[in-house]
Amino acid sequence: MSTSSMAFQLGSSSSLSISSSSIRRSTHDVFLSFRGADVRQSFISHLYGALHKRGINTYIDNNLKRGEEILSELLKAIDGSMISIIVLFKNYSDSKWCLDELLKILECKKMVKQIVLPIFYDVDPLDVQHQKGCYFILDIITWVDSIMVNRTFLNIAKYLVRIESRLRDIYQHLSLEKNDITCMVGIFGTGGIGKTTISKEIYNRIFRQFEGSCFLKNIIESSKAGGLIQLQNTLLYEILGENLDVRDCDRGINVISHRLHSKRVLLILDDVDELKQLETLAGDHKWFGLGSRIIVTTRDQDLLDIFKVDSKYELKILAYNEARKLFSLHAFEKEEPIDNYAKVFEQVMQYAKGLPLTLTVLGSNLKDKKICQWESAFDKYKQIPNENILSVLQVSYDGLEEHEKDMFLDIACFFKGEPLDDVIKIFESCHFHPNCGIPKLIDKCLITTGFNIWMHDLLQDMGREIVRKESPKKPGTCSRLWFHEDIRYVLEENTVSS
């Protein structure tokens, strides 16, 4: 059937303004507003059935008898829905009941920016009688599906500690109250410190304030697996709700800047490590409409400076009490540790040193285990660190150049805690160019410097594990030796490689 013969029309796109200043979770996905038994038995029954079949939680009044109590229930249902579909049929406006519903829907559209779809319905009776076609219900379902997918909350960590204070700090950088600017904010910190978790929580709390939103996670790995073209397509699909099938990065840049330059969007680029990724996905403020917010998470703060973000926020390790709470929640499902675990619990605290990833992984692994199992596992971790933790931390190391990797491994094996000036002299004698390399290690959040050079214990463990894996059973063939028993063995047995 041609477009000109459609029996109803979708409302104009201007009615689909999507925004929300709250994080309220929806009780229903869709609220159906309509009038008339004929509409209920024909179009509405088909529409409701199709929505239900797709797993879309839809509220319908089911011929409730009118009354103040029922009206109150309906108004609550409207308030708790993500989308309202208004089927405007003959005599709709004659009903005070329907007008009350409509006023509430418009109030929700204004206050919490509920998504509203008006449908002007006038199906030919013969189409209904003979059940011709699908009454164009597929168009509505497709639209609702795209909204539901793009308006769904992101799954987030089970336990959140110190989240509110961090959010308050980041909100100051985002300046959400300013709609006349487009703002780019960078969140940086070492691997496993919680950048993805905090950015997901920010997304969940504010994404409904924008006309479109997209969270591109783990860009380091995603750009290797599917390439930047796939990321561009994902970005466009999530924000626009249509598949544009971009097949070239340069064209993708032009499509993004052309299609999004007038839209107020929220875009989060998670775990970025190369300038090209930023240039390809969010190359300029002018690509996005006023009021847009672009958030970049990375382990490399120098990348944020080169890209010239408007503001930066450093995510730091948890304080002792916060770390204690997070680990206890994972290990014991309560905020305080069990008394007889106190000794081994403190050993874990010293080992993790406030890194959320470590606290989460170890807490989950040790949950419901006996004290002797804790002690055995912890002894193992001190010798061979947990692979799940190391794999996250090592991403930063993998992005270094060869001489930067050498400096990092030397610091991990020998120079942690040593005077910075002395370490620089040693590196200069090895032609490592420390005046360039050490700032790079700092920017990658792998070391910190003052009078001495320092790194997190787990980053030190990661560096030493990289060296150990060079030759696990023959330490004499490893590039570095630091463990006294390995050194003694190699010297006594004369097994040093040439």
What residues contact residue 140 under an 8 Å CB cut-off, 6+ apart?
10, 47, 50, 85, 117, 119
End-to-end CA distance of the chain: 80
Catalytic center residues: 101
Measured CA to CA, the distance from residue 159 to residue 333 in angstroms comes to 10
Q: Residue 231 has what pLDDT?
A: 94
**Paired sense of beta strands 115-121 and 8-10, if any:** antiparallel
H runs (alpha helix) in 133-226: 137-150, 163-174, 195-206, 219-225
Q: Residue 5 has what pLDDT?
A: 31
Single out the residue of 426, 415, 482 nearest to residue 449, CA to CA.
415
Neighbours of 472 (CB within 10 A): 10
Neighbours of 344 (CB within 10 A): 18
Q: What share of the chain is helix, strand, coil (3-state, %, to 5)?
A: 55, 10, 35
Single out the residue of 170, 442, 443 nearest to residue 312, CA to CA.
170
Biggest CA-to-CA distance, the chain: 99
15 phi/psi in degrees, rounded to 5: -85, 0
121 - beta bridge partners?
8
CA angle (119, 123, 129) in 5-degree steps: 140
Q: DSSP per residue over 369-412, as a string?
A: --HHHHHHHHHHHHHS--HHHHHHHHHHHHTS-HHHHHHHHHII
**Paired sense of beta strands 311-314 and 183-188, if any:** parallel
pTM of the model: 0.72
Q: Residue 482 has what pLDDT?
A: 85
The token pair that represents 16 in the structure block? 């689909």
What residues contact residue 346 under an 8 Å CB cut-off, 6+ apart?
none
Measured CA to CA, the distance from residue 483 to residue 162 in angstroms comes to 37
Count helices and strands (H / E) in the chain.
23, 12
Q: How many CA atoms lie within 13 A of 168 on its CB side?
A: 3
Amino acid at residue number 476 = G
Measured CA to CA, the distance from residue 201 to residue 197 in angstroms comes to 6
Instruction: Flag residues of the chain having pLDDT under 50.
Output: 1-23, 123, 125, 127-135
**Position of tokens 């839809």?**
58
Measured CA to CA, the distance from residue 244 to residue 233 in angstroms comes to 7
Single out the residue of 393, 399, 361 nearest to residue 460, CA to CA.
393
135 - beta bridge partners?
none
What residues contact residue 151 under an 8 Å CB cut-off, 6+ apart?
18, 82, 115, 207, 208
For helices 342-352 and 320-332, the axis angle rounded to 10 degrees is 120
Question: CB of 378 within 8 A of CB of 349?
Answer: no
Single out the residue of 75, 29, 34 nearest to residue 56, CA to CA.
29
Q: What CA–CA distances, in Å, run from 304 to 267, 276, 277, 395?
A: 16, 12, 12, 18
Q: Residue 22 has what pLDDT?
A: 40
Q: Residue 10 has what pLDDT?
A: 42
